[in-house]
Amino acid sequence: MSPNTERKNWIKEAMCRAVRVVRSGGTGYLRTSKYFSVPRGTLDRYVKDISRSPEKLVNIHLGRRTVLPSELENKLVKYCIIMDRRCYGPIRQDIKRMAFQLAIRYVLKHTFNQLKSEDGKKWLRTFLKRNPVISMRTPEGISAARVIGFISETVARLFDINGSELRKVNHPDHRIFGVDETGITTVQHRHSSQHEGKERNGFANVDSVVAGMNAIGTYVLP
């Protein structure tokens, strides 16, 4: 078999034209496949599938079908891009959790982890491979991240985004609260410095505190 007729290694436009030629009754399968350099078997299958246009046929994904249909996956990609532009880019766990929620909402057949309410690493790896526009970055140290990210352009963009959202809700200042969460380690991790030479099972015990306040200084109880 020649290189240009190997599996899925042919030009989509050429296949579309070949399908139209055969469907119109111009020439047969063999002559058309040779003229447009497309595999005869694939051409035969596409011509007989009259329920879809040639453009849709040539864009069919080969191999195992993905859990999320292309429409939902594209929406998930757009949402990740929008959140990243708003300085709230989702992490890997967020993407897996959202994929699970979409599968449940639209009653899709899946193999997601029901206990963790998210999909596994394999799905995320193939999802990122299919959508290279999403770039997952490794978190840096706090000091380095602040030095690189805390620039006037980023801060101005964040204020522009928040300003437009605040104008939509039109709430007074005392009804707008800023909320943040922080972790407090009560037992040190086994790799950290030990205090008095003792640890509880060798692992860290972390509690979380959520605090919030508004612009006039009113605090919410943590």
Could you report the per-residue pLDDT of 134-151, keeping only the tens digit for each? 877 765 555 666 666 677
Give the list of residues 6+ apart from residue 206 with CB closer than 8 angstroms, or none.
183, 184, 185, 186
Q: Are 25 and 32 in contact (CB under 8 A)?
A: no
CB-CB neighbours of 80 under 10 Å: 20
pTM for the full predicted model:
0.44
Backbone phi and psi for residue 76, each to the nearest 5 degrees, phi listed first: -65, -40
- DSSP code for 134: S
* pLDDT digits 0-9 by tens, 157-195: 888 888 888 888 888 888 888 888 887 766 554 444 333
Spatial CB neighbours of 89, under 8 Å, sequence gap ≥ 6:
80, 83
